[in-house]
Amino acid sequence: MIFRGDYIMVRVINLLAAILVLSAIVMPALADEALKRELVEQVCEVRLPVLARYQELSLMHKQILITLQTLPEDQITKSTKEWTNIAAGSDGILVKFDKINDLASKDDSQSHKTAISDAIGLKDAISSLEGYKQAKDNFITFYPGIALQHFFTDQGVYFETLAANETETHRAIAYYEDALNAYREAEDITKTTYIDLKVKELRSEYLFDMEAANESLTIGETKFEDARYGINCTGNPVSVAIGILASKRSERELTTVYKIYTKHGDERAPQIGEMVAETAIIHSKLVNVFLKYAAVSVALVIALLAYMLSLIFRWTHAVEDTLLGNEVIQ
């Protein structure tokens, strides 16, 4: 009986083992099949413009697809789903890259700046993808890095061109800084060097010019106020004379400011231009007033001079008469 009991027990254990084995084989197989379908179709549905723009991403997409299609079903695991989602999921590297590319396709520097910062953020996703052996073994991790490098180079070129065509110096500097950032991310040492030099050069020149402009502007504005005072107090010839000198100085200083602002595309240039024109008008008005004063003064001086000369003339005759009288007396 003991022997028979053992036999039944063995049968039961065998049966349970068989059920376990079967369930282990069948159930995951069904699950994996569904997962494989989901992943392959999900990746196949990825048809993004960025794939045509960056060949590396197209290769990455193909590599993911062929990897998933050829992976045996028992190797399609939760981990496979994770790295597939990181690479080609709805918020994966390809989709993010597409959004970045979309931003970078716009003719708007702010979008490009956002694209660069987003692209820098993409490095984290690429790093996390490298943590999956299956992805790494199938060379999927290699492509996005190269694509990113090309993307940064493209952005560097974009900002460099934008800066070269920009008339406003401080904006051009900002664009060159963005280009520098992009080239640095692209690890292009020569371009980084050139743009770094360009930024420093431009900034130095700009600061120098702005320093001069600020000094001239301060003087120009002060003198402009003096000139205005002169035009407001035309009854006072001294104020008029001071106004003429102030307006002349103001015109000179403001013209310097205007030239600097124009050179650097500063938006204040037209305003300064108007001030220069106004200064010229004030100057001419003051000169007119002054000429009137001058005419009256000259007339008075001439009259006084004539009177003085007549007195001297009379005094000279008197002296001569006196001397002649002395001689006659002697």
Partner 1 sequence: MRKAVFLFIILFVFMQTAQADLTVSGGSCTIKELDGSATVTLTLTNTENKSITVYAPSLPSPKKGITLTAPDNYPITLSADESKNVKIEVHITKTVNMGVYRADVYFGDRIATITIDVDRPTPAHLAPLQNIEIKDPVVFDKPRKEMESTGFKAESKFQIANDGDLAMTIKSVAPYGTPDAGMTFNVNYPAKISNQSADTATLTITIPVSAQEGKHQGKLRIDCGKAGLQTITVSVTVEHAVKFEMSAYPSNFGRVDILKSAPLTILLEETLGYKDISTVKIRRDETSMGDGKDDWMSVDLPASVISKGGSVPLTFTLRFRGETIVGRTYRWDYYLSHSAGNATITLRATATPIDIEETKNMLQTLEGSDNSDISSIAGKASGMLSSGSAGSADDWAALASISQASVTFLEAMDRALGRVDEDDHVGALNDLLIARIAVDTMQKSAKTKSQTAICTASNNFVGGALQAESAHFEAMASDANDDRTRIIAHRYVATTYGLLNEPEKSKKSRETAEEYISAYNQKIESANDRYVDSEDAIRRASDDLYRWGDVKLLVNPFVYDSTSYRYKFAINETDAAAEEYKMAGESDLCNTTASRADELHIQWLFLVSQFLMLMVGYILLFAGAVIWCVLAFMAFTADSREEEFGDVVLLS
Interacting residues with partner 1 (CB under 8 A): 33-34, 36-41, 44, 56, 59, 62-63, 65-66, 68-70, 72-73, 137-139, 142, 146, 189-190, 193-194, 196-197, 200-201, 204-205, 208, 212
Residue 329 Cβ, how far from partner 1 at the closest point, in Å? Answer: 19
In whole angstroms, give the CA distance from residue 41 to residue 35: 10
Residue 12 Cβ, how far from partner 1 at the closest point, in Å? Answer: 35
Residue 134 Cβ, how far from partner 1 at the closest point, in Å? Answer: 12
Residue 51 Cβ, how far from partner 1 at the closest point, in Å? Answer: 13
Residue 122 Cβ, how far from partner 1 at the closest point, in Å? Answer: 19
Closest alpha carbon to 120 in 142, 92, 156, 151: 151
Those residues with Cβ within 8 angstroms of residue 1's Cβ, 6 or more apart along the chain or in another chain = none
Residue 156 Cβ, how far from partner 1 at the closest point, in Å? Answer: 16
> DSSP letters of 109-143?
HHHHHHHHHHHHHHHHHHHHHHT-HHHHHTTTTHH
> DSSP letters of 248-284?
HHHHHHHHHHHHHHHHTT-TTHHHHHHHHHHHHHHHH
- 322 within 8 A of 330, measured Cβ to Cβ: no
Those residues with Cβ within 8 angstroms of residue 155's Cβ, 6 or more apart along the chain or in another chain = 104, 112, 115, 116, 119, 178, 179, 182
Q: What are phi and psi of 90, to 5 degrees?
A: -65, -20
Residue 23 Cβ, how far from partner 1 at the closest point, in Å? Answer: 20
Residue 35 Cβ, how far from partner 1 at the closest point, in Å? Answer: 8
| Residue nearer to partner 1 on the CB measure, 7 or 208 | 208
In whole angstroms, give the CA distance from residue 236 to residue 267: 38
In whole angstroms, give the CA distance from residue 248 to residue 241: 11
> DSSP letters of 145-206?
HHHHHHHHHHHHHHHHHHHHT--SHHHHHHHHHHHHHHHHHTT-HHHHHHHHHHHHHHHHHH
| Residue nearer to partner 1 on the CB measure, 202 or 244 | 202
Residue 88 Cβ, how far from partner 1 at the closest point, in Å? Answer: 13
In whole angstroms, give the CA distance from residue 101 to residue 48: 10
Tokens representing residue 184 in the block: 């640095």
| Residue nearer to partner 1 on the CB measure, 90 or 232 | 90
